[in-house]
Amino acid sequence: MPYIEKRNGKWRAKVSWYGIDGKRHTKSKQGFDTKRQAMQWASEMEVAKGKNQISHQDPTFADYFIDWANTYKIPNTSANTQNRYKHVHGRIVDYFGQVKLAKVTRRQYQQFINEYGADHSKSTMQKVHGTVRSCISDAMSEGIIHHNFTDRINLVWNDENTMQVEYLSVAEIKMLIQSLLNGVKPNYTSRYMILCAIYTGLRLGEILALEWTDIDYVGHTISVTKSYDYAAKRTKEPKTASSKRTVRVSAGFLEMIEPLKINHQERVFAPVDGSYVSSSAVNKTLKKQLKACGLVKKDFHFHSLRHSHVALLLYEGVPLYAISKRLGHADMAITARKYAYLIDELRQKSDDRIEEILNNLGTKKDV
């Protein structure tokens, strides 16, 4: 039974229970204006006890977050992912300090989002909020808190800091391919990597980790089973389980990369010395080739080739489901969200085409 008492004009409630460790634990809260409020809180705790959703722990927001990240998220992840969790922890420490997790309100968290989002991009804010939301959901499951202060939050970001994704049109892709193939030699590994991104839509790390044994020359497919992590300087499992996939390619592309076998390396895009081509080196080559084609793309980089690949497939009418599987996304919702700007552009073109078709039906007078 809960214990209710009045102290210095305010009401206090306390509940107790035996944990799985066999020890007796207590949890209390004070400062209620009325006895009814204290009893209501105690009743909620009694219900939580019955569902094993109560905890005697009372950590700070920052302490719980880093413990949660180290326990559930950071192990077996890339160095970049680990740094992201550490970065979010740093922002929580800066803003919330030693505030207890149970004391954080929805209003306080919204103010944090407002302040941090004032000079950060949309993608950054989506990642930060998504990470915190996942953490708080687990905290509720563990019974440490009983309200989710990340619910119904208005996400804020700075449009000026949000990079506008650029991609190549079909004509521009053809120009770039011809430029890359002009005078290409097996030691120009970066050029071949750019061609691979255009034809497959693979991520840079996935391209770097490709081995000749991953290629099926009969079925014209590439098996994506691993990825290279620049930060950790090692090959690892792909980004997600769905990232392990088989990608269909053209016979023409397989003929393009055939000369690379002369380097006598296990990895397809490894130079003669077996090293990994750096991201900066590939992007330098890409910018040089774009300039040679007379293409001015301010924010275009290697990953933009993946966007260009998607734009090409959408333009040619390939279903979103097939594109999603090809990219290694867990579901179509992820693809639709990441490439919403492309889908909207194509929808506008489709709407224009629909209007043109309807206009060609003729008027009542024509009939």
Q: Give which of 258, 71, 113 is closest to 181, Cα–Cα.
A: 258
CB of 104 closer than 8 Å to CB of 58: no
In the prediction, which pLDDT does 367 show?
A: 46
* CATH, domain range 61-161: 1.10.150.130
CB of 251 closer than 8 Å to CB of 288: no
Q: What are the boundaries of each domain within the chain?
A: 3-50, 61-161, 170-340
CB of 310 closer than 8 Å to CB of 334: no
Helices 320-327 and 304-315: crossing angle in degrees, nearest 10, is 150
User: What is the DSSP secondary-structure string of 24-68?
Assistant: EEEEEEEEESSHHHHHHHHHHHHHHHHTT---S---BHHHHHHHH
Helix (H, G, I), strand (E, B) or coil at 315: helix
Number of H helices, E strands in the chain: 14, 8
Backbone angles phi, psi at 31, to 5 degrees: 100, 10
* Rounded Cα–Cα distance for residues 207 and 192 (Å): 10
In the prediction, which pLDDT does 162 show?
A: 58
CATH superfamily name and code, 170-340: Intergrase catalytic core (1.10.443.10)
Q: Whole-model pTM?
A: 0.64
pLDDT in tens, the chain (367 residues): 788 889 888 998 888 877 666 678 777 888 889 999 888 878 887 777 666 665 557 789 999 999 899 988 888 777 778 889 999 999 999 999 999 898 899 999 999 999 999 999 888 899 999 999 999 999 888 778 878 999 999 999 987 765 567 888 888 999 999 999 999 999 999 999 999 999 999 999 999 999 999 999 999 999 999 999 887 788 888 767 888 999 999 999 999 999 999 999 999 999 999 999 999 999 999 999 999 999 988 889 999 999 999 988 888 888 889 999 999 988 888 888 778 767 776 666 667 767 777 777 765 555 4
